[in-house]
Structure 1
Amino acid sequence: MDTLWDNIEKLSAVCRAAGAHLPDEELKALQVGKVAEEAGEAMHALHGLKGLTTCGDDHAWSEVQNDLVGAVIAALLAMHYIDPTGARATFDEILHRRTRRGREAAA
């Protein structure tokens, strides 16, 4: 997991540099919006996969997965934008809480 967060921190630095002309709060909001955009692309690919779109695009599960990974990366970047020093700990705490709830429900 360290490599993942190390990569998120590096990517965050690159993205923040590109958006250096924007106020910090706007940069955070735009990154949260990016999560929704990537998730929407995954849904579009799923619709295409199931033949539920009129755009004529053929899609595969690999495209759905690609867009889902994009949404995960965007979400981790958004967390890092919101709290650069605490994002990893916040993620770990929320993951633990959510998986504990799932384990308890399954028991």
Structure 2
Amino acid sequence: MDALWDNIEKLSAVCRAAGAHLPDEELKALQVGKVAEEAGDDHRWSEVQNDLVGAVIAALLAMHYIDPTGARADFDEILHRRTRRGREAATAV
């Protein structure tokens, strides 16, 4: 998972540099919109899989844009909460 986030951070730096002329909030909004765009409406499974990977990358980039220093920890925390074990731990408290 670290390699994935390392790549996201590198890609984020390239994308941020390309969008340096935009206000930060606009850049964040555009990246979140990119997640919806990547969902696509293709009909072949290979195209759907390609769109899903694009959506994952776009979503992780959006998380990194929103909070560059906390995106990994936020992802881990949210993923844990969304798992059965995480939900069980939350209700036990």
TM-score, reference length from structure 2: 0.87
Distance, in Å, in 1 between the alignment partners of 2:37 and 2:27 is 15
Runs of 4+ in 1 over 2 A off after TM superposition: 57-60, 100-107
Q: Deviations over 1:33-70 (max 9, x none)?
A: 00000013xxxxxxxxxxxxxxxx98521110000000
Q: Is 2:10 aligned against 1:26?
A: no
| Residue ranges of structure 1 left out of the alignment (5+ in a row) | 41-56
Identical columns (%): 96
Q: Name the CA distance, whole Å, in 1 between partners of 2:48 and 2:8.
A: 21
Evaluate the alpha carbon distance shift between residue 103 and residue 24 of structure 1 in structure 2; reply closer, same or farther with a 3 A threshold.
closer
Please identify the structure whose Cα radius of gyration is greater: 1
Aligned length in residues? 91
Which whole-Å CA distance do the structure 2 matches of 1:100 and 1:69 have between them?
A: 24
Structure 1 residues 97 and 105: alpha-carbon distance in aligned structure 2, compared to 1, 3 A threshold: closer
After superposition, the CA RMSD in angstroms is 3.1
- Residue by residue over 1:7-33, the C-alpha shift from the partner in whole angstroms, topping out at 9 and shown as x without a partner, is 000000000000000000000000000
Q: Find the aligned partners of 1:85 and 1:30 in 2 and give their Cα distance.
A: 20
Distance change (3 Å), C-alpha of 1:5 and 1:58: closer
The two structures have a TM-score, normalised by structure 1, of 0.76
